Structure 1
Amino acid sequence: MLIALWIINGMLALAFLGSGGMKLLRPKDALASSGMAYVEDFSAGTIKLIGALEVLGAIGLIVPLLTGIVPVLTPIAAIGLAIIMVGAVVTHIRRKEPPVLPAVLGAAAIASAVLGFLVVTS
């Protein structure tokens, strides 16, 4: 189970580091012009906050488990990312856009949380 957790967390961490980093580093207009039209529904500060939470969540998926320092934070980070993805799915449905990518990332985050709790408590 530990190997499966590392595989899922590695993929999730890469995805959230990429998307969160992009939200942190690029201005709102650049995000909108690159195909992220949903950013028009949020303030620039909210977009930066979402990006920061995604980056912190990605770090939380890897660092606690890697160091062995409070490893229970790994599944907690996955739960936080799943909650963010629920919000993303709702936003995309409200805008009549396909919610497939955030739904898949949310499901993977839930799988990571379940595996994480199983690994940490065993």
Structure 2
Amino acid sequence: MNLALWIAAGVLAAVALTGGITKTFVPKEKLAAAHGGGWTADASVGFVKTLGVLELLAAVGLILPAVLDIAPVLVPVTAICWVLLMVGAMITHLRLGEGTFVALNLVYLALAAFVAWGRLGPEPFTG
């Protein structure tokens, strides 16, 4: 179970890192033209960059607290925050009729819920 939770957190961290770098450093116009980035056309640059920074923080929060053994409770807290972020992403993609992205966000939401449940319940970092 511990290994499965680490793998799920690692996958989510990789997704968050990729999305965070993209949203933080790629110009909004280029994001809007990309497949799945249409939602950025109606969002402000500040909002897109803020989401990017939040995703970068999520990538850090899913891994480093446990690895460094500094406030490892932040791992499930970050996973819960990721669930909320994915709910927002799903709503946004539903409004745009992008069912594939809704399904992908649902997978990420399920992984994050698994990490939160596992680290708050059967496999916490502290004994």
Written as runs of structure 1 = structure 2, the 5 A alignment for 1:13-52 is: 13-35=13-35, 36-52=37-53
Q: What is the distance in 1 between the residues matched to 2:104 and 2:42?
A: 19
Q: What is the distance in 2 between the residues matched to 1:2 and 1:115?
A: 8
TM-score (norm 2): 0.91
State the superposition RMSD in angstroms. Answer: 1.1
Q: Displacement, 1:41? A: 2.3
2:76 aligned partner: 75
Q: Tell which deviates more after alignment, 112-121 or 43-52.
A: 112-121
Q: What is the distance in 2 between the residues matched to 1:11 and 1:2?
A: 14
Consecutive aligned runs of 4 or more in structure 1 exceeding 3 Å deviation:
none
Q: Displacement, 1:106? A: 1.1
Q: Displacement, 1:56? A: 0.3
Q: Displacement, 1:101? A: 1.2
2:107 aligned partner: 104
Q: Can you give the 5+ residue segments of structure 2 that lack an aligned partner in the other structure?
A: none
Q: What is the distance in 2 between the residues matched to 1:116 and 1:20?
A: 24
% same residue: 40
Q: Can you give the 5+ residue segments of structure 1 that lack an aligned partner in the other structure?
A: none
Q: What is the distance in 2 between the residues matched to 1:22 and 1:66?
A: 25
Q: What is the distance in 2 between the residues matched to 1:93 and 1:41?
A: 15
Q: Matched residue of 2:71: which SS? A: coil
